[in-house]
Amino acid sequence: MQPNNERNNDRSDNIQRRFHLLEQAIGQAAEASSAEPQLPSELRDSIQRVDRLGDTARDILQTGDPARIRKLLADMTTSAERARRVCTNLPQLSAQIRGAVSHMVSQIQELKRDLQ
């Protein structure tokens, strides 16, 4: 059995890795949205909101404040799910944007799971 501080360090490393993957996924979704000129405003706005939240996420995660972290993840989830619903309802969107949004949503879910 690992000592407590080693387990905490492993958990912290996992969360940092997961957060890095989330940042990449958000960046990919933002890039994909920029590449599509006819993107519905609701989808573009949702991705931009997740991107802005992602910009503040590292600071919030480092505070270790469970209430702020829960609110951040809830806000990210709400906007990401809205983006996913738009993608689901508009099959004419490119595979690139649909895949990027789906990946972003799954990375948020994985971070939430790792933080529990």
Q: What is the pLDDT of residue 11?
A: 72
Q: Which amino acid is at 67?
A: A
Q: Could you read off the pLDDT of 57-99 as tens digits, one per residue? A: 989 988 888 899 999 999 999 999 999 999 999 989 999 999 9
Pick the CATH number of 4-115 from 1.10.357, 2.60.40, 1.20.120, 1.10.287: 1.20.120
Q: Show Cβ contacts of residue 100 under 8 Å, excluding neighbours closer than 6 positions.
A: 25, 28, 29, 31, 32, 33
Mean pLDDT over 10-28 rounds to 89
Question: Is pLDDT at 54 greater than 90 in this prediction?
Answer: yes
Q: 115 or 35: whose pLDDT is higher?
A: 35
Per-domain residue ranges of the chain: 4-115
Helix spans in the chain (H): 4-35, 41-63, 66-89, 95-115
C-alpha count within 13 angstroms, C-beta hemisphere, residue 31: 10
* Ramachandran angles phi, psi of 94, nearest 5°: -65, 155
DSSP secondary structure of 79-97 = HHHHHHHHHHH-TTS-HHH
